[in-house]
Each structure stands twice: as C-alpha cells, then as structure tokens.
Amino acid sequence: MLIRVEDQVEVISGADKGRRGKVLDVDRTKGKVVVEGVARVYKHVRRSQKNPQGGRLNKEMPIDVSNVMLICPKTNKPTRVGVRFTEDGAKERFAKRSGASLGTIAPPRTSAARKKSKSGTR
C-alpha cells in the first residue's frame, strides 16, 4: 500500500466522491484508510464520568484504500502512485501523472544502484 499518513487524497467513489482530505490513519492489514472529513458518522455515547453530558459524537470511519487517489503535489490532480529506484539505489514513491517524487520509502542499496558502464551501453 503506497498511501501514507499525512498524504492528501481525493475520494473517487462512494457517498463522499470528490472530497479531499488528509490521511489520518492507515490500516494495512484491512486495506483501509481514515481520511479527515470523509465518511463521518454519529456515535451515540451514554453519560459517564469521561463524557458527563453524553450525546452524539461525530467521527470519521475507515474507507477502502481503493476508493482514494493521491493528490499530485505538482499538478494538484489525482494520480496513481508508483515505485522506482533512484540513482543511488534508494526506493522512492512517485506520481505517475507528473513523475514528481513523493519521498523515499527505503534506504539506498548497492544492488539496486545503477552502474555506470565504460562503453555507454548496458
């Protein structure tokens, strides 16, 4: 799953289609994300010491990761996310729409680094 906490995403299907928000939580085992301001529900709470007034709490519920697309920082439009190796062998996320880097996700490895050849061809 290439969506991370703090990413800006847009909902592409469901009741909140077209809404944008920041990712608050990612559940990798269930394949769900919680997006700020999306899929809000009321939770009815009984009166208690922790919540002396009781009433209805408004909270966001998780939605499937397939229903959101990352917002490209360069074009400000929804984009798919890919993974590539940089020159030094580090793995990074990138926006497929513009090719803009979205940050590294793994440290450099010598086996993945591109080697320079003397003849100019690989």
With a CB cutoff of 8 Å and minimum separation 6, the contacts of 85 are: 91, 92, 112, 113, 114
Q: Who has greater pLDDT, 34 or 115?
A: 34
Look at residue 26 in the predicted model and tell me its pLDDT: 97
User: Which domains, ranges and CATH numbers included, belong to the chain?
Assistant: 1-71 (2.30.30.30), 73-116 (no CATH)
Mean pLDDT of the chain: 91
* Confidence label for 120 from pLDDT (cuts 50, 70 and 90): low
pLDDT in tens, 41-92: 999 999 999 889 999 999 999 999 999 999 999 999 999 999 999 988 899 9
| 97 exposure class (CB count in 10 Å sphere: 0-12, 13-18, 19+) | middle
